[in-house]
Structure 1
Amino acid sequence: MKRSIFLFIIVCAFFAKTSVFAQIQKHAHWTYTFSKNDVKQGETVDLIFTAILDKDWYLYSSDFDPELGPMLTSFAFTPDKSFSLVGKLKPQHPKTKYEEVWGGNVKFFDDKAVFKQTIKVLTDKPVIKGSSEYQTCSHTSGLCVPGNDDFEFKGLKVVASAGTAPALESTTPSETKSVGANAVSPTDTTMQETANIALSAGDSAGAMSENEAPKIDLSSSEDPAAGAPAADKSLWAFALAAFLSGLVALLTPCVFPIIPMTVSYFTNQTNGKVKALLYGISIVLIYTLIGTVVSRLNGPAFANFLSTHWIPNVLFFGIFFVFGLSFLGLFEIVLPSAFVNKMDAKADQGGYAGIFFMAFTLVLVSFSCTGPIVGSLLVASAGGAVVKPIIGMAAFSSAFAIPFTLFALFPQWLKSLPKSGGWLNTVKVVLGFLELALALKFLSIADQVYHWRLLDREVYLAFWIVIFSMLGFYLLGKISTPHDSPVERVSVPRILLSIITFTFVIYMLPGMWGAPLKALAGYLPPQSTIDFDLSKKGVGVAPAASSGVTKKYADLFHLPHELDGFFDIKEAQAYAKKVNKPVFIDFTGHGCVNCREMEARVWSDPEVLKRLQNDFVIAALYVDDKTELPESEWYTSKYDNKVKKTIGGQNADFQIVKYNNNAQPHYCIVDQEGNLLVAPKNYDLNPASFAAYLDKGKAAFAAK
């Protein structure tokens, strides 16, 4: 999220000392109710989580890509044999917007947030409780505040019902599906009573860290419309993308030759117009059936497997790679002729049954070219939703079916169609280059999740630069493939396409040395995987001198602009005593938009960067990191009496207990014992103001 520049005016600065920094902030106020008050054993009921938000504050939803950065809302249930979870968490009509900082769409709530979770009641006195994690941010001040609340649902009246499953009986595999080797069912009798089952709420769950607590995703049995509100703009965007993909599929060489066959079939048909419409409808139904079957098999568990496991991603890479080689002319991919001929024979029988088999023949013959596009749509729609794959396939097939239906209605149009020839092979080869480029995305996902380090950012970019350069030379006729016709002169459309291609190549080149390439953020590996990143160098200042100390968690976290620092407060304080400098504490988070904005726009200022490098010992404390610490390092918080097991949990607890604040970004300049030297500072995009704050802290330390 890129907000306008917010300046702290004098009045805000005055009140900051007495209000913002002197209290624990909470801007979401939760209530917990049931969708109905009376149920029978074995029936389902919706748990309704409602948050009333303070004015000008918003709360992130639970159903967007967790890899983008912001903290998604989630609810962890304490396991109990009196109930089981059914389906996934359902946020109720969140808003969607594109945030440039994260390079993707996020979903959020203003004023009021509502989430629903379906459960199956197994006994007459269900014990339904747990804890929630969420993040609220201010539209005006730029502050972000993580939240962690306990919840409990009470007051449900349960009536015994004949035929109800025994109270202690575990849920069946059809009722729950788990993600991760350590995930377990809510009713597993071997589970410790204090364990938490974290309900993943995203449509595309990220990979589970080996150090994270076990999490479970559950297959959905909800109403098909529940997961896709009519007003959801992302669903309309997906449908439009699918429709456009169907139009692109019409240009593939497997499809074009079928048009004359279609026209010849319908030329002498009686009731031609009716049969032509039936033909188009049949194409849509066949393709949509594929989406329906996949959607019924899908679930969040399958989506996590499909999105992050190496097996499906390497498989998709292989499929795209093979199709790419085929399109370039290395070999031809065809379905078994006996099967295709059998379908074609059915079509020759005529009548309305023949119309359907004619459409089925079209789908089969064209699948060699449309298969990768259909597969991409199904991958994009993965996530357990029922509606999205169906809409995607319906939109794709509608675009695909419209021209065939029109040619069936008006067979005389065939005379005006350009003849099949060399231009079709050109389209095929261009698609082949694109297939090879897109194949790398799937391999990259597996590479990042399993830390193979085969496709670091610069290696990935090198492949793309070479692939698109060769595409540009092909368009100019400098490269030819086995089935190309001789290029005597380059047409204007090919020249324009080559200009676009080479412009794209030049745009990618600086990325080899660390340029962010924001337009490709969703396709490239993370910036942190690049080995030689010139963007890490400070602007106008020398790189920070290393402290020469081995630091805890240095393999997990990194400071921007090649700053040297620590990620553990005790280590930072010990080193500060050694070098006699104050400590600059940066309370930050992976999901903190404004933290990244401060680092990019304020910390990068030469005057600020110089002070951070030379005058302070930096301690960057991530409050939302889920890395679980060894059990010997756990402790029970004096603030909320909860056991703090993770790096983020302990850092957040330290911020609350020591400095009475839980917002990020939050900057504290302290002495070597952790005592504040000056009032803390939060989000402030004025570099001069931030430099003055650092100077004030340095002077206060020198005066002690």
Structure 2
Amino acid sequence: MKNLILAVFLIISSVTVMESQDVEPVTWEVSVSEISKNEFNIIIQGNLLDDWHLFSQFTDEGGSLPAKLNFINSGENYQLIGPTTEGDTFKAYNDIFNVEETYFINEARFTQRVKLLNTDVRQISVILSYQVCNEVCLNKEKQFNIGLDGGNATMDTVVLDEKSEVFSKALRLDLKNKQLLQSSATPLSNDSSLWKIFVLGFLGGLVALLTPCVFPMIPLTVSYFTKQSGSKVKSTMNAMTYGLFIFLIYLALSIPFHFLDSVNPEILNTISTNVWLNIAFFLIFVVFAFSFFGYFELTLPHSWSNKMDSSSNIGGILGIFFMALTLALVSFSCTGPILGSLLAGSLSADGGAMELTAGMGGFGIALAMPFALFALFPKLLVSLPKSGSWLNTVKVVLGFIELGMAFKFLSNADLVSHWGLLKREVFIGIWIILFVLSALYFLGIVRFPHKKRKKLSFGNIATGIIIGGIIIYLSSGLQKNAPLTLLSGFPPPSFYSLYDQEYDCPLGLDCFKDFDEGYAYAKAKDKPILLDFTGWACVNCRKMEENVWSIPKIHQILKNDFVLISLYVDDRKPLGKLSEFNYKVSDTHLKLINTVGDKWATFQSINFKTSSQPYYVTLNPNLELLNQPIQYSGIEEYYLWLKRSLDKTNY
């Protein structure tokens, strides 16, 4: 079980340093060997720095990322003869991922034979993606433009093929009134959104205090600080320093994502909607849930916590820091799921790294304040309730919460991939079952391996009745198009339903999911456009649709006065070989656009210089901006924004 936890954290750590480091652990050389007039061997060789290793194309699945070579336009101007062969590799068993990995040390060598189908072709372009690791892992991508005359090879200016050039140009709009974009860099309600995330993080920290992993740390804290001798001023300073270190440790978890956001503005949305990452979170949270139910214990390796605990015996500020780190590590099995919910829920382009920092900050403060107080006033411990069956109850409640969140992650993967497994009614039904089981637990009917309660208390009965009310509320959401306002954004959208045979548009509105089709319709009907950048896994997008768009006066405007074009930036539906293309990000970097989401995310980034969702733009058929774009907002604000946009049209 510990290996599973470590694997997830290594994956996330690998993602957080992706292309954010200045380290260049591999230097590349390219050469060409002529076999005949039409056949060549292309050799790509990398020299690795000491202590670094690069993973093979053929390393086992489920471990580190394999190298991949993408030969641009192969099959059109030339064909690949056989697979890409490799030089000497090494194998080692990775006990974190439980797979045998294949990798290069010192030198990585790839050789591919090609046969020209068009003898006029004198250059072949190859994109090499690879993962290289020492203590950290870096995901890298290099493009090689290889000349076949004399074996010349470069890694400089990228030249797009004709198809990619045409498709790339089609993504760019000739917008008018672009000055309106400059005033819409941040959502109008950004500050309140950050405060909401901070409060949620703070509440999560308070919940963590009641968990059976954190609560027993209080006597340890008291014991440590009662041994510290010194004046009242020094004791106060030590306690404040302890609280500050706890806060900073949790806040530091969000720092790498700020670098990620600056490297690639779409990366946070890509991570949060990644199918395999969401499935991984689903599995991890199921494991956490059954651990909370008492079927097994889930802890970090004892060597980690023991080492930190021994380090905390060092005196002074360093000892206090290690004491704070000990708290963070020992309590991980309970705080991890809460932090995981916050982490995965904030990793979106809506607010990205800032929302994550706000949430982590709130969590850290909530956890730090009580421990700082107990460090300052050890006698406060006397007033605390003793550990007992109430802690087991907290664990079981957390277990049901973890299962509910697990299916949210699985729903994200289902939505972006269009599997159709967790339609809205199925998702709500699963949550109803979880609440029924939790109610039966409080009523003493369902039991877990924890110690049995001696009698059914009034509090348990009252809690069971309250949960029954929640079950009735959830059951109302099983009807067709029935809103669940209190949970808006969490269940799948109402149009992703068992009642409908295919995906439709929100609230029964007519919409287009392709810009070109919607734009052609708007021009033919001479109507203004509402461009809706959204996502299948975007919680705030669902809240806007269910809580704002559903208001009659707004719904009527959307239905009658605008051509609605909804572009899903996280849609993983493949474009197909005929429609996929390369977009030139820089002189040395091509981005492969091979899914619907890739296309519309790039379209948004190119034309509107943002990657946030929801993001709303009003245009007339001449591509003039009618108003500054708007993001997540309230009912009246959004209504007035729509009216002001209409006032600037002649329709």
Per the normalisation by structure 1, the TM-score is 0.48
Residue 435 of structure 2 corresponds to which residue in structure 1? Answer: 468
- Aligned residues of 2:532 and 2:564 also touching (Cα < 8 A): no
Counterpart for residue 214 of structure 2: 255
Q: CA deviation at 1:457?
A: 1.0
Task: Name the amino acid aligned to 2:424.
Answer: R
Q: 1:496 aligns with which of 462, 474, 493?
A: 462
What is the rounded CA distance, in whole Å, between the counterparts of 1:407 and 1:254 in structure 2? 17
Question: Bigger radius of gyration, 1 or 2?
Answer: 1
Residue 368 of structure 1 aligns with an amino acid whose one-letter code is S
Aligned to 2:300: 335
Corresponding residue for residue 486 of structure 1: 453
Q: Whole-Å Cα distance in 2 between the matches of residues 229 and 297 of structure 1?
A: 24
Q: Any idea what the Cα deviations from partners look like across 1:274-332, whole Å, max 9, x if unmatched?
A: 22222111111221221213433444332122222201111111111111111111111
Aligned counterparts of 2:625 and 2:237: Cα–Cα separation in 1: 67
1:269: Cα distance to partner?
0.9
SS in 2 for 1:513: coil
Hey, what does 2:378 align to over in structure 1? Answer: 411
* Mapping of residues 61-72 of structure 1, within 5 Å: none
Q: Is the 8 A contact 1:228 1:388 kept in 2?
A: no
State the AA in 1 paired with 2:370: P
**1:213-248, Cα deviation, whole Å (9 max, x unpaired):** 699xxxxxxxxxx97999722122222221221111
1:621–1:246: structure 2 CA closer, same or farther, 3 Å change rule?
A: closer
Q: Within 5 Å, give how 1:126-145 maps onto structure 2.
A: none
C-alpha displacement of 1:499:
2.6
Match of 2:321 in 1: 356
Alignment check: 8 A CA contact 1:347 1:356 kept = yes
Residue of structure 2 aligned with 1:295, choices 220, 241, 258: 258
Aligned equivalents of 1:442, 1:518: Cα separation in 2: 20
CA drift of 1:197 comes to 6.0
Query: Could you tell me whether the CA contact under 8 Å between 2:493 and 2:506 is conserved in 1?
Result: no
Deviation at 1:505, TM superposition (A): 0.8
Q: Deviations over 1:591-634 (max 9, x none)?
A: 499999999859999xxxxxxxxxxxx9x9755669999999xx
Residue 414 of structure 2 corresponds to 447
Change (3 A) 1:230 1:333: same
Cα distance in 1 between the residues matched to 2:546 and 2:243: 53
Q: Paired residue for 1:365, among 330, 344, 349?
A: 330
C-alpha separation between the residues in 2 aligned to 1:405 and 1:307? 34
Distance 1:388 1:191, change over 3 A: farther
- 1:189 corresponds in structure 2 to 159
SS of the residue corresponding to residue 527 of structure 1 reads coil
Q: 1:585 to 1:339 in 2, by over 3 A?
A: same
Instruction: Give 2:78's aligned residue.
Output: none
Provide Cα deviations, 1:111-169, integer angstroms capped at 9, x if missing partner: xxxxxxxxxxxxxxxxxxxxxxxxxxxxxxxxxxxxxxxxxxxxxxxxxxxxxxxxxxx
Asked whether the 8 Å contact 1:426–1:484 carries over to 2, the reply is no
C-alpha distance in 1, partners of 2:365/2:293? Answer: 28
Rounded to whole Å, the distance in 2 between the matches of 1:285 and 1:597 is: 37
Q: Which amino acid aligns with 1:287?
A: Y
Per-residue Cα deviation, 1:563-597 (whole angstroms, up to 9, x for no partner) = 9xxx9xx9xxxxxxxxxxxxx99998674999999
Q: Which residues in structure 2 correspond to 1:621-640 (within 5 Å)?
A: none
* Partner residue in 2 for 1:324: 289
- Closer, same or farther in 2 for the Cα pair 1:324/1:186, shift >3 Å? farther
Equivalent residues in 2 for 1:49-60, closer than 5 Å: none
CA separation in 2, counterparts of 1:294 and 1:232?
19
| Equivalent in the alignment of 2:404 | 437
Aligned to 1:24: none
Q: What TM-score results when the alignment is normalised by the length of structure 2? A: 0.52
Once the 2 structures are TM-superposed, how far is the Cα of residue 487 of structure 1 from its aligned partner?
A: 3.8
Q: 1:471-620, aligned counterparts within 5 Å?
A: 471-492=438-459, 494-514=460-480, 515-532=482-499, 557=504, 591=532
8 Å Cα contact 2:427-2:491 kept in structure 1: yes
- Give the Å deviation of 1:661: 13
Write the mapping of 1:165-184 to structure 2, written as runs, cut at 5 A: none
Residue 246 of structure 1 aligns with which residue?
205
Equivalence for 1:311: 276
Alpha-carbon offset, residue 452 of structure 1: 0.9
> Secondary structure at 1:528's aligned position in 2?
coil
Name the residue aligned to 1:382: 347
Change (3 A) 1:512 1:275: same
Tell me: CA distance 1:433–1:556, structure 2 relative to 1, closer, same or farther (3 Å). closer
Give how far 1:472 is off. Answer: 1.3
Runs (5+) with no aligned partner, structure 1: 1-169, 180-184, 199-211, 216-225, 534-553, 571-583, 606-617, 633-644, 647-654, 664-682, 685-704
Q: How far, CA to CA, are the matches of 2:416 and 2:210 in structure 1?
A: 35
Deviates most, 327-336 or 263-272: 263-272
1:342: how far off?
1.4
Q: Secondary structure at the match of 1:300?
A: coil
Within a 5 Å distance, the mapping from 1:73-84 to structure 2 comes to: none
Quote how far apart the aligned CAs of 1:423 are: 0.3
Q: Are the equivalent residues in 2 in contact too, given 1:347–1:354 (CA < 8 A)?
A: yes
Call closer, same or farther: CA 1:404–1:322 in 2, change over 3 Å: same
Name the counterpart of 2:367.
Answer: 400
Question: What is aligned with 1:691?
Answer: none
Q: CA 1:506–1:361 in structure 2 vs 1: closer, same or farther (change >3 Å)?
A: same
| 1:64 matched residue in structure 2 | none
Mapped partners of 1:244, 1:264: distance in 2? 27
| Greater helix share, structure number | 2
Instruction: Give the deviation of 1:532 after TM superposition.
Output: 3.2
Q: Find out whether 1:391 has 2:375 as its counterpart.
A: no
Rounded Cα–Cα distance in structure 2 between residues aligned with 1:294 and 1:333: 27
CA contact (8 A) 1:239 1:395 kept: yes
Partners in 2 of 1:561 and 1:278 — Cα distance?
A: 56
CA contact (8 A) 2:496 2:503 kept: no
Specify the SS of the correspondent of 2:453.
Answer: coil
Given the superposition, is the C-alpha separation of residues 358 and 558 from structure 1 closer, same or farther in structure 2, using an over 3 Å criterion? closer
Residue of structure 2 in register with 1:85 after alignment: none
Which amino acid is 2:259 matched to? R
Q: How high is the sequence identity, in percent, across the aligned residues?
A: 40
State the alpha-carbon separation in 1 of the partners of residues 346 and 506 from structure 2: 36
- SS of the residue aligned with 2:394? helix
Taking structure 1 as reference, are residues 624 and 277 closer, same or farther at Cα in structure 2, changes over 3 Å only? closer
Tell me the distance in 2 between the aligned counterparts of 1:188 and 1:661: 32
Q: CA deviation at 1:557?
A: 4.5
Q: Closer, same or farther in 2 for the Cα pair 1:214/1:320, shift >3 Å?
A: farther
1:507 and 1:189 map into 2 onto residues whose CA distance is 58
Per-residue deviation, residues 408-460 of structure 1 (Å, max 9, x unmatched): 10111112211101000000100100110111111101101111111111111
Which residue of structure 2 lines up, in the alignment, with residue 102 of structure 1?
none
In structure 2, distance between residues paired with 1:489 and 1:594: 43
Distance 1:624 1:408, change over 3 A: closer
Q: How far apart are the structure 1 equivalents of 2:377 and 2:192?
A: 36
Q: 1:282 aligns with which of 239, 245, 248?
A: 245
- Structure 1 contact 292–389 (Cα < 8 Å) conserved: no
Alignment partner of 2:192 out of 214, 217, 233: 233
CA–CA distance in 1 between the matches of 2:549 and 2:202? 40
| RMSD of equivalent CA atoms | 5.3
Instruction: Report if the CA contact (8 A) 2:294-2:448 is conserved.
Output: yes
Aligned amino acid, residue 292 of structure 2: F
- Is the contact made by 1:656 and 1:662 (CA closer than 8 Å) also made in structure 2? no
